[in-house]
Amino acid sequence: MNNNSSRVWVLAAVVWSYLILSPLFLAVHFATFSLPSLQTFWEHPLLSAKLFWDSIPAAQQPYVLLFMALNALLAIIPFWQLHRQKNSKEQTRFLQDRLDRCTQKGRDCQTELENLKRLDPLTQIPNGAVLRRRLEEGDIRCLIAVNLNGFHEINELYRDEGGDQILKQVADLLRDYAKEARFEIYRLHSDQFVVTTEKALSMHELTQEITSLLGKIHTHTFMIGKDPIQIGARAGASFDHTALLPTAAMALARTKKLHKPYVIYRPELDMSAIYRSNINWVRKIKKALEEDRITLYYQPIINASDNSINYYECLLRLIDEENLAHAPHAFLELARRSNLYFDITLRAIDLAFFSFQSHPAHFSINLSYEDVANDEVFRYLVEKIHAFPEPHRIHIEILESEKIENYDIMRRAIQTLHHYGCAVSLDDFGSGHANFKHLVNLDFDMLKIDGSLVRNILYDPHSRLIVETIVNFAKKLNLDTCVEYIENQEIYETVKAMGVTYMQGYYISKPKPYH
Q: How do residues 33-43 score in pLDDT, each as one tens digit?
A: 444 555 555 56
C-alpha–C-alpha distance, residues 78 and 4, integer Å: 12
**Amino acid at the residue 61:** Q
| Band (447; pLDDT cuts 50, 70, 90) | very high
Q: How do residues 269-288 score in pLDDT, each as one tens digit?
A: 777 778 888 899 999 999 99
Residues above pLDDT 70, as percent of the chain:
77
Is the pLDDT at 510 greater than 60? The verdict is yes
C-alpha–C-alpha distance, residues 28 and 95, integer Å: 52
- Whole-number pLDDT of residue 30: 47
Residue 245, Ramachandran bin (φ over 0: left; ψ between -120 and 50: alpha; else beta): alpha
| Band (73; pLDDT cuts 50, 70, 90) | low
More confident residue, 52 or 410: 410
Is the pLDDT at 254 greater than 60? The verdict is yes
Nearest CA among 326, 336, 328, 410 for reference residue 366: 328
Q: For the residues 478-498, what does the mean pLDDT come to? A: 95
- Whole-number pLDDT of residue 33: 43
| Band (207; pLDDT cuts 50, 70, 90) | very high
- Whole-number pLDDT of residue 308: 96
C-alpha–C-alpha distance, residues 314 and 295, integer Å: 10
Residues 6 or more apart whose Cβ sits within 8 Å of residue 266 = none
> Structural domain boundaries of the chain?
3-99, 128-270, 280-513
**Amino acid at the residue 165:** Q
Q: For the residues 191-218, what does the mean pLDDT come to? A: 93
- Whole-number pLDDT of residue 238: 93
The pTM of the full predicted model, rounded to 2 decimals, is 0.64
Contacts of the segment 59-65: beta carbons below 8 A, 24+ positions apart: 64/26
Residues above pLDDT 90, as percent of the chain:
58
Phi/psi at 143 (nearest 5 deg)? -135, 135
Q: How do residues 353-363 score in pLDDT, each as one tens digit?
A: 999 998 999 99
CATH 3.40.50.300 given to domain 280-513: no
Question: How many other CB atoms are there within 10 angstroms of residue 48's CB atom?
Answer: 21
C-alpha–C-alpha distance, residues 365 and 397, integer Å: 6
Q: How do residues 383-433 score in pLDDT, each as one tens digit?
A: 999 999 999 999 999 988 767 778 899 999 999 999 999 999 999 887 765
Q: For the residues 425-442, what does the mean pLDDT come to? A: 78
Q: What is the mean pLDDT of the chain?
A: 84
Is the pLDDT at 17 greater than 80? The verdict is no
| Band (31; pLDDT cuts 50, 70, 90) | very low
Beta strands 394-399 and 423-429, pairing class: parallel
More confident residue, 117 or 234: 234
**218-232, 294-308, 378-392, 426-440: segment of lowest average pLDDT:** 426-440
- Whole-number pLDDT of residue 180: 83
Residue 484 CB-half CA count within 13 A = 17
Among the four given CATH numbers 1.10.10.410, 3.30.70.270, 3.40.50.720, 3.40.47.10, the one describing domain 128-270? 3.30.70.270
**152-156, 364-368, 494-498: segment of lowest average pLDDT:** 152-156
- Whole-number pLDDT of residue 3: 53
Is the pLDDT at 345 greater than 50? The verdict is yes
- Whole-number pLDDT of residue 404: 76
Is the pLDDT at 112 greater than 90? The verdict is no
